[in-house]
Amino acid sequence: MMSTTTQTSEIKLVKRKKKLTPKDIILKILVYTFLITNTVFILFPVLWIIGSSLNPGDSLYSSSMIPKNPTFIHYKELFTKTDYPIWYKNTLKIAF
């Protein structure tokens, strides 16, 4: 059986939520704005590259992020007409 002292000491361990001050709210807004902005700047080029690789044309000048007629022909050529699997295997050997 638990004593009353143990029960009250356990209750005191529970953290109470701190009330947010206007300064805390502004700081959180700034931090999240910074994080979201950086995420967009980091992901945009990656999405552009993926979209460009799915474009059917040979030129990146006419490419768009979301192609109208996406195709995997470039990936097919990469894996069938080059030594890419060997290059990738060599990269993994060096990395690990």
Specify the pLDDT at position 32.
Answer: 98
Task: Give the per-residue pLDDT at 4.
Answer: 54
Kindly report the pTM of this predicted structure.
0.60
Q: pLDDT tens per residue, the chain (96 residues)? A: 555 555 555 556 666 677 889 899 999 999 999 999 999 999 999 999 998 889 887 776 777 788 888 899 999 999 999 999 999 999 999 999
Domain of 82 in residue numbering reads as: 18-95
List the Cα angle 27/32/34 in 5-degree steps: 95
Tokens 């192609």 belong to which residue? Answer: 67
Domain membership flag for residue 52: yes
For residue 45, being part of any structural domain is answered with yes
3-state secondary structure at position 65: coil
* CA distance readout (Å), 29 to 3, 23, 26, 34, 36: 45, 10, 5, 9, 10
| Residue 13 counted as domain residue | no
Asked, for residue 2, whether it belongs to a domain, the answer is no
pLDDT of residue 25: 94
Residue 41, in any domain of the structure: yes
The predicted pLDDT at position 68 comes to 84
Q: Looking at the 3D structure of the chain, how many domains does it have?
A: 1
